[in-house]
Structure 1
Amino acid sequence: MTCDAIVGCLLGTAVGDALGLPYEGVSPQRAERLLGPADRYRFFFRRGMISDDTEHMCMVAQSLIKARGDVNVFTNRFASRLRWWILALPAGVGKATARAGVKLWLGAKPENAGVFSAGNGPAMRAAIFGAAIVDVPSLLKMVRASSRLTHSDPKAEYGAIAVALAAKHSRQHPTINANQWLDQVVDAVGEAGTELVELLRKAIESVGERESTNTFADSLGLGNGVTGYTYHTVPVAIHAWLSHPKDFRQAVTEMIRCGGDADTTAAIVGGIVGAGVGREGIPAEWIHGICEWPRSTAWMERLGDSLARSVAGEASVETPTINPIAVLLRNSFFLIVVLFHGFRRLAPPY
């Protein structure tokens, strides 16, 4: 069960990320005219590629394997991976994450590297904690350590906690109880997270009224696209999850239709739903349609299996690694494709 949830979370994140990537930064209105519906990959000749959202999720999973429940080991491992990840010149990295990476290279300790930002970086890599960790106190410690490494604004942390608990609820309950999940979030974030809790409560009410996720996003003033501010990203992503908790295709495509930071929002939704439905609940053509190396979908499955065996207490579990030279070559190619999409957006239809 845990292995299926972890693999589903990793692959779900990758699929949502790859499907949403071409739509990133495009309004819902123009996306329909420029790209069409998000029913297939539109990044590179009907194939998809992942971005920093999935890469961070994978780095968290690798760090959790080595940590074996020790939050200090996890923090140091993740900080080390983040340093080298920044050095590989990834395209599209968030400003706060980039600054935190530079601070780490300049000698800052992991607990002091975070930048005061309420971006959605911590939320984009949080679902794997809910898929892998059963004990809530341990889960919260890991989420906080992951969040504070790059983002010191408590809002970023609260958003990540909501996502991690959503993934945990998704994998543990065949039937989703939104209010039960929200009660856990309330206990975890306390009074300081009241603003987020109210937004999440609005999302639950909207789902109860059978409003579409696009309609809900519009009610928050996000008609031109969901921003990277975590109090925009997380409530809308939660709405998509609660609207289609066991229907991966519908949840992810409805999230992408909202526009804006579509790769991150779809990655979050994909990770949460994927933790509940597992690999078999994700459309096979979407898994096979991801064209990636060295972080291939097969590599991600091996990573998920290793993490599952590690959290189960198995000794001497090997952590799947990747060739840094291969990463540099891949990132160079990825940048070329990203630039092509950037220039394509300068042309009609507008």
Structure 2
Amino acid sequence: MNKVSKREAIVGCILGTAVGDALGLPYEGVSSQRAPKLLGPPDRYRFLFGRGMISDDTEHTCMVAQSLIEANGDVDIFTKRFASRLRWWILAFPAGVGKATARSGIKLWLGAKPQNAGVFSAGNGPAMRAAVFGAAIDDCTLLLHMVRASSRLTHSDPKAEYGAIAVALAAKHSRDNETADANLWLEQVAEAVGNEGVELTDLLRKADQSIRTGESTPDFAQGLGLGKGVTGYTYHTVPVAIHAWLAHPKDFRQAVATIIRCGGDADTTAAIVGGIVGAGVGREGGEGNIPEEWIDGLCEWPRSVTWMRSLGESLAASIDANPTTGTKPPSINPLGVLLRNLLFLLVVLFHGFRRLAPPY
């Protein structure tokens, strides 16, 4: 498989995040033992009459992309624009929003500055929206500044930041290399997170060693004590997601299905893996790429597949454009978002009640 262009990587990352998110969503919170009996294999959408819908993982990725377009490489502008979008996003009643993100959104409405809005949490919120940084940004120094700004807006625990850095660098590595070099990527992560992130780098090395022995991603998760499912703790989420990526670096279908089979926070883990692998394989249409039927099966508005493609194209164009001219991100209908979220909430409630019934 040939190296993809930056434009293809960005669009592939956004669509890959959306597809992984939508495929994993029905499995969220279900154990790896019960999921096959309750839902069947993760080979098609099982959320809304055979169609898929996205959750906060993709929505945050889109908000990051929009804010990157407006920032033109300025970290302060990015932070302000992303903070503004987060404030309004909270008002649209998003279902399943993480506690730390919700609290930071409330703090922003109460007047907190973006630099002080984060709460002390090592959740996987920053990691779920980090892949697009790696797909879009060449300069590693700028990439790290952007990821840190995004992370600290909602999560002040450095662990959340380190997990997001690992994901962003994985997406960049996936985009820049025809084959994955785990050692090279690990060196970059270790340098970026320093001694404070040694716990994470040790876990990532364990993931690499596990793959070299031929261990499957679900077995690796089991070895970390995550047999019932991957939790939202970033030092659980990120190593297992990285394992799935390194095990299937250019095979989107296998990578995403493998991480979903691990259970737990399946929409977020699959969104992360989908974003990383999507950045490496690009758009749909080829062997190992994002399956066309999965993209066509997304049932979304106003953040439709067409809108997400346009967003990716605009982000790529903004990077190539003259900074003085600027590029505007595609807009979104706020009333449409609210109506869509009400439908989404009803479907989520249906799935919640369905889980009360057998099979167990």
TM-score, normalised to structure 2, is 0.97
Secondary structure (helix, strand or coil) at the match of 1:228 reads: coil
Superposition deviation, residue 345 in structure 1: 0.2
Residue of structure 1 in register with 2:357 after alignment: 347
For 1:210 and 1:249, locate their aligned partners in 2 and report how far apart those are by CA, in whole Å. Answer: 19
Secondary structure (helix, strand or coil) at the match of 2:111 reads: coil
1:165 aligns with 2:160: no
Secondary structure (helix, strand or coil) at the match of 2:29 reads: coil
Asked if the contact 2:70–2:326 (Cα under 8 Å) also holds between the matched residues in 1, the reply is: no
Residue of structure 2 in register with 1:289 after alignment: 297
1:254 aligns with 2:258: yes
User: Pick from 332, 351, 358: which aligns with 1:322?
Assistant: 332
Give the AA of the match of 1:320: P
Structure 1: gaps spanning 5 or more residues: none
Residue of structure 2 in register with 1:112 after alignment: 116
Give the AA of the match of 1:321: S
For 1:163 and 1:223, locate their aligned partners in 2 and report how far apart those are by CA, in whole Å. Answer: 23
- TM-superposition CA deviations, 1:194-247 (whole Å, max 9, x none): 000000000000011111000000000000000000000000000000000000
Residue of structure 1 in register with 2:106 after alignment: 102
Residue of structure 2 in register with 1:13 after alignment: 17
Secondary structure (helix, strand or coil) at the match of 1:26 reads: coil
1:335 aligns with 2:339: no
Residue of structure 2 in register with 1:36 after alignment: 40
Residue of structure 2 in register with 1:181 after alignment: 185
Structure 2: gaps spanning 5 or more residues: none
For 2:186 and 2:308, locate their aligned partners in 1 and report how far apart those are by CA, in whole Å. Answer: 30
For 2:134 and 2:197, locate their aligned partners in 1 and report how far apart those are by CA, in whole Å. Answer: 19
Give the AA of the match of 1:250: Q
Percent of residue pairs identical: 77
For 1:348 and 1:12, locate their aligned partners in 2 and report how far apart those are by CA, in whole Å. Answer: 32
- Stretches (4+) displaced over 6 A: none
Asked if the contact 2:21–2:54 (Cα under 8 Å) also holds between the matched residues in 1, the reply is: yes
User: Pick from 312, 320, 330: which aligns with 1:312?
Assistant: 320
For 1:62 and 1:319, locate their aligned partners in 2 and report how far apart those are by CA, in whole Å. Answer: 5
Give the AA of the match of 1:234: V
Secondary structure (helix, strand or coil) at the match of 1:119 reads: coil
Secondary structure (helix, strand or coil) at the match of 1:279 reads: coil
Give the AA of the match of 1:322: I
Secondary structure (helix, strand or coil) at the match of 2:342 reads: helix
- TM-superposition CA deviations, 1:123-168 (whole Å, max 9, x none): 0000000000000000000000000000000000000000000000
Give the AA of the match of 2:268: T
User: Pick from 202, 207, 220: which aligns with 1:203?
Assistant: 207
Give the AA of the match of 1:136: C
Superposition deviation, residue 317 in structure 1: 1.5
Secondary structure (helix, strand or coil) at the match of 1:37 reads: coil
Superposition deviation, residue 321 in structure 1: 1.0
Superposition deviation, residue 313 in structure 1: 2.7
- TM-superposition CA deviations, 1:38-76 (whole Å, max 9, x none): 000000000000000000000000000000000000000
Q: Give aligned pairs, total.
A: 350
Superposition deviation, residue 179 in structure 1: 0.4
Which segment drifts farther, 204-213 or 309-318? 309-318
Give the AA of the match of 1:307: L
For 2:326 and 2:58, locate their aligned partners in 1 and report how far apart those are by CA, in whole Å. Answer: 25
For 1:336 and 1:92, locate their aligned partners in 2 and report how far apart those are by CA, in whole Å. Answer: 12
TM-score, normalised to structure 1, is 1.00
Asked if the contact 2:321–2:327 (Cα under 8 Å) also holds between the matched residues in 1, the reply is: no
For 1:175 and 1:296, locate their aligned partners in 2 and report how far apart those are by CA, in whole Å. Answer: 31
Give the AA of the match of 1:141: H
User: Pick from 237, 241, 261: which aligns with 1:237?
Assistant: 241
Superposition deviation, residue 89 in structure 1: 0.7
Secondary structure (helix, strand or coil) at the match of 1:55 reads: helix
